[in-house]
């Protein structure tokens, strides 16, 4: 496996959806190619850092305010329609 | 290596369908439960796409209201959450286009497929690189780094890797093919990795200073 082929499979590898044969070829490549090993390892860390980062958490007070605005608009929508929200 | 775990707590589908059915019949309380389940996710997705807090607040309201008024069109073939994300992404992209009319914002923009994304310089990272920074510094680094990605890459990365949608769900929510999702995801991950390397790579001196 060449480095470019490794890169094409990287996303499938990180997502755990490779067949056994391709996975084993890829892991053979990782065993001797230090650059690809580092790319794989640091890409995995990149995903983990973003997943665990809690960027843009919705603060409780804003959450309450938004929910209350949404619900009153839904109520108004019901009133306008005179009942249900749509054609079931 | 383990697959990335799903960020959305999986709820029993039947329970969710019952809520949707009740909301279709005008039960606002049932819809409020759906809002509680997904408002945090919708807000995060909207902030990532619009990069603007006010716009994200609008998107949360508009997306849920639109979902409520169009519940009759929800057929239950996909998960309610995937359907909701699709609405929220469209609302967020409209906001982004309004703010940046000079730039076409599209999820269909051409993605380079040549090998130019092969990392040229590969530097290993320190162990636990995020611990070199305070929480506020790290948040700033991560925010600025992801903001530098094109919207089409950013959106796919956020849905797949932050929100934990599957490739198929992401394709459905963004109206993209599965190969297009995979291609954008690979490039988004590699670009983020490359940009974060500036902050996280091993220091030669090893004296622990930044």
Q: Are residues B140 and B184 in the same domain?
A: yes
**Mean pLDDT for each 10-residue chunk of chain A (88 residues)?**
90 93 95 93 95 91 96 89 52
Q: Are residues B88 and B119 in the same domain?
A: no
* A56 part of contact set with chain B, CB < 8 Å: yes
Closest CA relative to residue A84, chosen from B24, B72, B30: B24
Binary contact (B39, A53; C-beta < 8 A) = no
Domain spans, chain A: 3-81
How sure is the predictor about B124, in pLDDT bands with cuts at 50, 70 and 90?
A: confident
ipTM of the complex: 0.87
DSSP B125: B
Which of A3, A15, A43 shows the shortest C-beta gap to B193? A43
Q: Are residues B152 and B87 in the same domain?
A: no
B28 pLDDT above the threshold of 50: yes
Nearest CA in chain A to B115: A4
Handedness of CA B119, B122, B126, B132 (dihedral sign): negative
Percentage of chain B lying above the pLDDT 90 cut:
64
For A3-81, CATH gives 1.10.10
In chain B, the number of structural domains is: 2
Closest CA relative to residue A13, chosen from B1, B134, B204, B152: B1
How sure is the predictor about B78, in pLDDT bands with cuts at 50, 70 and 90?
A: confident
* Chain A residues within an 8 Å CB radius of B60: 66, 70
Predicted pLDDT at A21: 95
* Chain A residues within an 8 Å CB radius of B202: none
Task: Specify if B5 maps to a domain.
Answer: no
- Roughly how many angstroms between the first and final C-alpha of chain B, as a whole number? 31
Q: Are residues B87 and B141 in the same domain?
A: no
Give residue for tokens 């807090």: B53
How sure is the predictor about B210, in pLDDT bands with cuts at 50, 70 and 90?
A: very low
Q: Please state the rounded mean pLDDT for residues B99-122.
A: 58
B129 pLDDT above the threshold of 80: yes
Predicted pLDDT at B13: 59
Query: What SS3 string covers B27-82?
Result: CHHHHHHHHHHHHHHHHHHHHHHHCCHHHHHHHHHHHHHHHHHCHHHCCCCCCHHH
Diameter of chain A by CA atoms?
69
């Amino acid at each position: 496996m060449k480095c470019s082929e490794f890169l094409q499979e990287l996303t499938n590898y990180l997502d755990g959806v490779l067949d056994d044969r391709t996975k084993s070829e890829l892991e053979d490549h990782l065993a001797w190619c230090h650059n690809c090993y580092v790319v794989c390892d640091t890409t995995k860390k990149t995903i983990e850092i973003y997943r665990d980062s809690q960027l843009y958490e919705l603060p409780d007070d804003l959450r309450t305010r938004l929910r209350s605005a949404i619900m009153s608009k839904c109520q108004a929508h019901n009133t306008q329609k005179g009942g249900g929200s749509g054609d079931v | 290596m383990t697959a990335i775990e799903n960020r959305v707590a999986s709820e029993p589908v039947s329970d969710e369908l019952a809520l949707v059915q009740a909301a279709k019949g005008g039960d606002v309380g049932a819809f409020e439960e759906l809002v509680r389940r997904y408002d945090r996710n919708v807000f995060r997705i909207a902030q990532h796409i619009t990069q603007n807090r006010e716009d994200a607040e609008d998107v949360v309201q508009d997306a849920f209201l639109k979902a409520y008024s169009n519940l009759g069109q929800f057929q239950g073939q996909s998960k309610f959450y995937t359907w909701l994300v699709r609405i929220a992404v469209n609302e967020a992209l409209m906001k982004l286009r309004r703010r940046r009319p000079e730039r076409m914002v599209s999820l269909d923009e051409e993605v380079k497929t040549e090998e130019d994304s092969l990392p040229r310089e590969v530097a290993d990272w320190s162990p636990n690189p995020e611990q070199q920074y305070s929480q506020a510094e790290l948040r700033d680094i991560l925010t600025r780094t992801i903001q530098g990605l094109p919207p089409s890459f950013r959106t796919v990365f956020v849905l797949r890797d932050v929100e934990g949608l599957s490739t198929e769900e992401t394709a459905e929510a963004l109206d993209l093919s599965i190969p297009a999702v995979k291609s954008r995801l690979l490039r988004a991950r590699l670009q983020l990795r490359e940009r974060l390397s500036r902050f996280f790579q091993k220091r030669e001196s090893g004296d622990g200073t930044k």
